[in-house]
Amino acid sequence: VLIELELKLKPVLGKNIPKQQVDLNLFEEKLLNILDSEALQNDKIAAEAELSTSDCLVHLLSLEFKGMIKQLPGKMFALL
């Protein structure tokens, strides 16, 4: 089908696509620094950030919406 339509599609994989600049608050920056080394469970992230678990989850969700982190099974979070 693509050959018949003569579409010239270029592969996107493997190219360095710059991410948009995202405004982060102090808590989000702190959480990103904590997640810099490895994926961690939300309780450990909250303890290291000295935040309550609920506050930590709010900021983790915000980072997830911004495309900075992803949630893994078992309430683990990792950088993208």
pLDDT digits (tens, 9 = 90+) for 20-73: 577 899 999 999 999 988 999 999 999 999 999 999 999 999 999 999 999 999
Does residue 75 surpass a pLDDT of 80?
yes
pTM value surpassing 0.85: no
Q: Which domain holds residue 61?
A: 27-80
pLDDT at 17: 44
pLDDT at 14: 47
**DSSP output for the chain:** -HHHHT--PPP-TT--PPPPP----HHHHHHHHHTTSS-EEHHHHHHHHT--HHHHHHHHHHHHHTTSEEEETTTEEEE-
Q: CATH number for the domain including 31?
A: 1.10.10.10
pLDDT, mean of residues 5-13: 57
Q: Is residue 57 part of a domain?
A: yes
* Total number of domains in the chain: 1
